[in-house]
Amino acid sequence: MRIYLVGGAVRDRLLGRAVADRDFVVVGATPQDMLDHGYRPVGRDFPVFLHAQTHEEYALARTERKSGHGYHGFVFQTDASVTLEEDLARRDLTINAIAQDEHGALIDPFGGQRDLEARLLRHVTPAFAEDPVRVLRVARFAARFAQLGFRVAEETLALMQQMVAAGEIDHLVPERVWQETRKALAEPTPSAFLRTLRACGALRVLFAEVDALYGVPQRAEYHPEIDTGIHIELVLDMAARLAPGDDLVGFCALTHDLGKALTPAAELPRHVLHEQRGVAPLRALCARLKPPAEHAALAELVCRHHLTAHRALELRASTLLRLLESLDCLRRPERLSPFLLACEADARGRTGHAEQPWPQSSILRAALEAARAVDTAPLLAQGLQGPAIGAALRKARIRAIAALKANSHAS
């Protein structure tokens, strides 16, 4: 029974990155051996165990054979005869197929260290093509490591293109697509996720509403990058910069401009009413992708109201309150921050605007604070009842926001 540290922990140590989780593979053992050593079984599809003290995962070395379509179409073999190299051979990328023994020695049969140095994301064996999730995983790793100069190896990209052409990714279940997408949106460079999927043709299949934005022109005086798809990439990366690791803000950034793909050709490069037009494709994407309810809800609010937020400095107090009411921020104030971060990412996610301030955030935060600070006690003391209380409260909130605006102009 031999135990090896494998996967991301080895890769990240070699890259000089912090190691968050450690995974181990056990060679020459049976499930009963693991139980006899006090490990607790947790694997459903194949034997995975938790260490009694550290609770880290220990998986028996295994091989896998394609038996059908999609992510679940595999038959696994786990017995004491499976070698470490056979286990490493089933992994997706060479940089994830490096093992380390208890003495710190590296076992690297597929050149993972070489590809780390060359900054390449390269598949281990042709068996890569058997698992469609790996297309998404490569794109996600591109989003994680783009800042370090990593790129997808040409032969791996060609293999991914073949997988898309063969219809293999059509069998991906929404839960796995969302799981990988959510992780990618939380990476430092989510734009690389889109570019990688687009390069292999998967973006058109999995995110048709986003793919349709590429090549759609915008007015150069507002969008020097012109292409709406490029704008989305810039917004995604700005969202990752403003809200690191926040996939909720990232999803709002990804979907806020879907309506621009539906602008009539005669109206281009202007996009009047793109906020309203974007709701239908956003709902279609969410119905297919099945993100959490709050992701879908906030993304729609950003889609509908991001232009109103950009005009916050010039809006009347009543319009500012109406925006806050539309966001349901008076009842759920925690919604305002991710909404504003997505809107700021939109404003700064334009060529030449990355360092531009976005003071709209401050006025909207202050407006919400002023509106929520209005005391209802004086209204109740007046004997108001029913709808009259709501109307009086709304007027009081408008006055509070108006006073805030007046003070800000005075200062």
pLDDT tens across 348-389, in order? 999 999 999 999 999 999 999 999 999 888 877 787 777 888
Question: Which among 268, 253, 360, 361 has a CA at the least distance from the CA of 298?
Answer: 253
Residue 302 near residue 337 (C-beta atoms within 8 A)? no
Q: 213-249 burial, b if ≥16 CB within 10 A, otherwise e?
A: bbebebeeeebebbebbbbbbbbbbbbbebbeebbbb
The partner residues of 23 in beta bridges, in order of sequence, read 6, 57
Residue 153 lies in a domain: no
Q: Provide the token pair at 384.
A: 């108001």
CATH of the domain at 97: 3.30.460.10
Full pLDDT tens readout for the chain, 411 residues: 899 999 999 999 999 999 888 999 999 998 889 899 999 998 776 689 999 888 899 999 988 766 555 555 556 677 788 999 999 999 999 999 999 999 999 999 999 999 999 999 999 999 999 999 999 999 999 999 999 999 999 999 999 999 999 999 999 999 999 999 999 999 999 999 999 999 999 999 999 999 999 999 999 999 999 999 999 999 999 999 999 999 999 999 999 999 999 999 999 999 999 999 999 999 999 999 999 999 999 999 999 999 999 999 999 999 999 999 999 999 999 999 999 999 999 999 999 999 999 999 999 999 999 999 998 888 777 877 778 888 999 999 999 999 998 887 665
Residue 254 lies in a domain: no
Domain that holds residue 105: 1-113
In the listed set 80, 113, 146, which residue is the last one of a domain according to the structure?
Answer: 113
Q: Is the four-CA dihedral 239, 334, 257, 319 of positive or negative sign?
A: negative
Q: Provide the token pair at 55.
A: 């609770």
Q: 26-40 burial, b if ≥16 CB within 10 A, otherwise e?
A: bbbbebeebeeeebe
Residue 49 lies in a domain: yes
Residue 322 lies in a domain: no
Q: Provide the token pair at 25.
A: 């593979």
φ/ψ of 214, rounded to 5, equals -70, 135
Q: Provide the token pair at 252.
A: 């709002």
Which alpha helices (DSSP H) does 1-132 contain, by range?
8-15, 31-36, 84-89, 112-118
Q: What is the dihedral of CA 166, 167, 171, 174, to 10 degrees?
A: 130
Sequential DSSP letters for 216-244: -B--TTT-TT-BHHHHHHHHHHHHHHHST
Q: Note the pTM of the prediction, 2 decimals.
A: 0.92
Sequential DSSP letters for 145-196: HGGGT-EE-HHHHHHHHHHHHTTGGGG--HHHHHHHHHHHHTSS-THHHHHH
In the listed set 96, 113, 130, which residue is the last one of a domain according to the structure?
Answer: 113
Q: Provide the token pair at 405.
A: 């605006």
In the listed set 87, 113, 139, which residue is the last one of a domain according to the structure?
Answer: 113
Contacts of range 382-385, beta carbons closer than 8 Å, 24 or more positions apart? none
Q: What is the DSSP letter of 335?
A: G
Per the structure, the count of domains in the chain is 2
Residue 72 lies in a domain: yes
Q: Provide the token pair at 107.
A: 């076992």
Residue 3 lies in a domain: yes
Q: How far is CA 385 from the centre of its chain?
A: 47
Residue 314 lies in a domain: no
Q: What is the largest CA-CA distance in the chain?
A: 84
Residue 139 lies in a domain: no
Distance CA 169, CA 364 (A): 43
* Distances in whole angstroms, Cα of residue 185 to Cα of each of 91, 140, 191, 221, 353: 23, 8, 9, 28, 21
